[in-house]
Amino acid sequence: MLPTASAEYYGRQREIMVSVLGSARRLWGTRPPRSFDAWFDDNIDRLLAILIAGQQAAVDDAEEYVTTVLDELDTRVSPDAEPITDPLVGVASDGRGLDSLMYGAVITAKSSVASGLPVEVAWDDGLTALMLRTQTQIADASRAAVGLGIAARPEVGYVRMLNPPSCPKCAVLAGKFYAFNSGFLRHPGCDCRHIPSRENRSRDLTTDPQVYFESLSPQEQDKIFTKAGAEAIRDGADIAQVVNARRGMSTAQQNVAGWIPKGRLSRTEVYGQQIATTTEGVTRRGAAYRAMREAGYARRQTDVRNGRRYFRARAPRLMPEGIYEIAEDRADALRLLRLYGYLA
């Protein structure tokens, strides 16, 4: 059975999502403004406040969730370090600033106008893009926070939890045990989450692809898996061989064709590899700057903006999944997570 704690956690996350999306939708409104850019300039602060509050709520009980699930599964594991989720709030999951990410919704609306669509339709297109971006950032913040709780514990990984109805790609990825450093594959609008575990202890429709498939009616199977694919599975074909699970899926640190948000990720060469980074939190008051300074890694760099002086680290700051990509082993991953302010 699905751990009760996982079902309850998803319920809380869904409530947060509904509240945030509702607030963002009301702010966007239904009547298009005369100038899309002017609207964005006037409302970006309120929009960011809504999104940041949602991210904060989404990460607040992540550590308690990991602890509770492992207790429920009779696999209690004490963390080697304390996860710090503050650096996950106020920054996009790919390392960029949230304001840049949210402006993509305006770009979508302007592109629709340029293609000849009525202004009202274009503004609705922008709203759709805004909702998708907002949903993604709340879900990614939650997933990253839970991922830190998993990484902080030895021999703990995760099983993917489906939230039916689920697409065939998500269904195929469920039911397998993933190591702590396995990036969480998701698609636009994906609401799958982690079940912290040492192995797949939950054999039900939320973690077993075949059980999920069999829970659907033949008509639903045809619709979700395509008629030919569903027929092959019903005839005994391996569901994993029928579905290409990785096509159209990406982690928070990747950008594939068709993925929202579009655009170039902030990727920097670190230790000879191109890794997603961010400058969020590396100002002198930021948690990451303090951690990097204490480790002897950060060097000050003066940044003058509008006559005010700021200090930030010259070294780029890695996002958690970027750290997992380059870490040589778990000990190295913990060292880097501490260095960049994600663990205490």
- The pLDDT assigned to 309 comes to 40
pLDDT at 165: 77
d(CA 195, CA 179): 12
Instruction: Give me the residues of the chain with pLDDT under 70, please.
Output: 1, 200-207, 244-318
Taken in order 337, 71, 89, 277, is the CA torsion positive or negative? Answer: positive
Residues 6 or more apart in contact with residue 261 via CB below 8 angstroms: 92, 94, 101, 104, 133, 136
pLDDT digits (tens, 9 = 90+) for 250-278: 566 554 333 333 333 345 544 444 545 55
Identify the CA nearest to 187 among candidates 172, 208, 175, 209.
172
Query: What are phi and psi for residue 176, nearest 5 degrees?
Result: -105, 150
CB-hemisphere CA count at 13 Å for 17?
21
pLDDT at 201: 61
Contacts of 106 (CB under 8 A, 6+ apart): 36, 37, 39, 40, 126
Helix (H, G, I), strand (E, B) or coil at 276: strand
Handedness of CA 177, 182, 186, 192 (dihedral sign): positive
In angstroms, the Cα distances linking 223 to 204, 219, 248, 335 are 21, 6, 18, 46
Q: Which amino acid is at 255?
A: N
pLDDT at position 341 is 86
Can you tell me which residue has the tokens 């990097």? 292
> Are 197 and 177 in contact, with CB atoms under 8 Å apart?
yes
Tokens in use for 275?
């890794």
Given this model, what pLDDT does residue 302 score? 42
Q: Which residues contact 221 (CB under 8 A, 6 or more apart)?
A: 213, 230, 233, 234
Alpha carbon distance 228, 75 (integer Å): 41
Q: Is there a contact between 213 and 225 (Cβ–Cβ < 8 Å)?
A: yes
Q: How far is CA 166 from CA 125, 174, 190, 324, in A?
A: 24, 10, 9, 27
Tokens in use for 215?
């829970």
pLDDT digits (tens, 9 = 90+) for 135-144: 999 999 999 9
The length of the chain is: 344
- Of 36, 35, 108, 93, which Cα lies nearest the Cα of 59? 93
CA distance 308 to 46: 23
Per-residue model confidence (pLDDT) at position 253: 52
pLDDT score, position 44: 93
Cβ contacts of 329 within 8 Å, gap of 6 or more: none
Strands (E), the chain: 157-161, 177-178, 193-197, 267-270, 273-278, 300-305, 308-313, 317-318
pLDDT at position 190: 83
Question: Which pLDDT does position 251 carry in this prediction?
Answer: 62
